[in-house]
Chain A
């Protein structure tokens, strides 16, 4: 692998139609997870091929086995039940916030599902070790495994009062996720993963969600809490998850939603309010979207010294237009003003198929975007080597 400007992806790849058909069958209970997974093997090979052909240095399995980046854990853990927003609304008092979200997203309450903690969380099968093991057998590239972060999981699955049957409070549930994720990260590292990315997209919603009509396409509704306390809670969970772990690169991914191609329906706001918390996070890399203008300017990092690595979002996964390599080079050179070139990785802003049934791009366009990203990295390496 080249030393400078390694290229990678954030996670998901658009699923082929035949895989989506099998996913529906699995969700209807017509086939088992193992039966579905053996079909998904073929889709993973396609996702791998696209990434390898584009010349990506650190690849994922395209999250082909997952219905989305977090609710797939319902297949992996006992004690979680995939509940629709319609079901969740039967329990929560604050129904009007869910209604507000559904209207903002223009979706029905039956379409959005979240893994809700309804009993003690126990591992039914590994969270991502099966994904990693298959990928390890089929690529010589370095492997990145995205995992839903401990805050994201806690936030999505704690529904009061349903979750209280199993846990005293949200903190107790979070502690269970921290334990499970630590165990999983250790196994993934030992199995050969070189990069583990904790997905914590909703951190931006804590900052910008309450004043905005935009939201994330998940049942993880922002709660009426003090944003400062919530960000401290999230930071603490991330740090407890990664504490003492070494031998694998650990990253945190933050974005502003990736469920629609309508930019105006996604959150907007720079990273400024999150930087103090980023500085506290004991991870190696921050994987941040920056291709979209909604993410604000890189200059918010101007006065931040000795910062960690940056996984710089240089292509927008939601557009049909393919960026050109000069645009990407220029974005990276802007980042070089605030980050050491040796600490910059190139990646898309987010996945190309975060939600299985509503990918934000086609495989063909996604491939071209990766190709141009690799081309830009080559130009940068020639200049900065």
Chain B
């Protein structure tokens, strides 16, 4: 018999994973830590290595890059969009809600880009505000969708990283 799926997820497998993480603290701890490495490629380009994946980071030409890939702040937006997408689908699936289509549109406003360029000491070079709009097509009623969206925002790892003060622990090592 075919295994039950919803929103492209195997329901049994999803239940198992949730049960496993809930019952095994070491498994949960494993999922608490994430890693990435970025290597400079010259100019403003870099290559990120994440588990078995890599991707390029660049800057647009109007910021002296060669525009071969998104820049770091665009990856932040994409990371948030990706996180909200995953979170929404997880919460919808757990609530047995079918999702036909979903998109998250994001727009971030940097507080003052001149500070990054060393041209101003007013404000800061980080995002001041990020708008995240969810578009969803689903047979569920609007209230259910709104509840899932609220839960998604509340439990989003990237959303929480951005909205809380995350402590960055810097270190430098000069290599011979």
Contacts and interface: CB of A to CB of B under 8 A. Distances in A.
Contacts of A110: 101-103, 135, 137
A107 interface: yes
Interface of B: 101-103, 105, 107, 133, 135, 137
Interface string A98-115: 000011001111110000
A86 B101 CA distance: 11
Contacts of B103: 86, 108-110
Interface string A107-149: 1111100000000000000000000000000000000000000
Nearest to B134: A108
A227 to B, nearest CB: 26
Sort A-B residue pairs by CB-CB distance and give the 10 closest, nearest first. Answer: A108-B135, A108-B103, A110-B101, A109-B103, A110-B103, A110-B137, A108-B101, A111-B135, A108-B105, A103-B105
For chain A, give the interface size range.
Answer: under 10
A328 B135 CA distance: 40
A110 B103 CA distance: 8
Interface SS of B by simple majority: strand
Nearest to A99: B105
Name which of A86, A107, A108 has the most chain B CB atoms within 10 A of its CB: A108
19 contacts: A86-B103, A102-B105, A103-B105, A103-B107, A106-B133, A107-B135, A108-B101, A108-B103, A108-B105, A108-B135, A109-B103, A110-B101, A110-B102, A110-B103, A110-B135, A110-B137, A111-B101, A111-B135, A111-B137
Contacts of B137: 110-111
Name which of B102, B105, B133, B137 has the most chain A CB atoms within 10 A of its CB: B105
Contacts of A106: 133
B102 to A, nearest CB: 8
A353 to B, nearest CB: 20
A173 to B, nearest CB: 29
A108 B138 CA distance: 14
Contacts of A102: 105
A100 to B, nearest CB: 12
Given A86-B103, A103-B107, A110-B135, 8 more contacts: A102-B105, A103-B105, A106-B133, A107-B135, A110-B101, A110-B102, A110-B137, A111-B137
Nearest to A107: B135
Contacts of A103: 105, 107
A183 B133 CA distance: 46
Contacts of A109: 103
A102 B106 CA distance: 12
Nearest to B135: A108
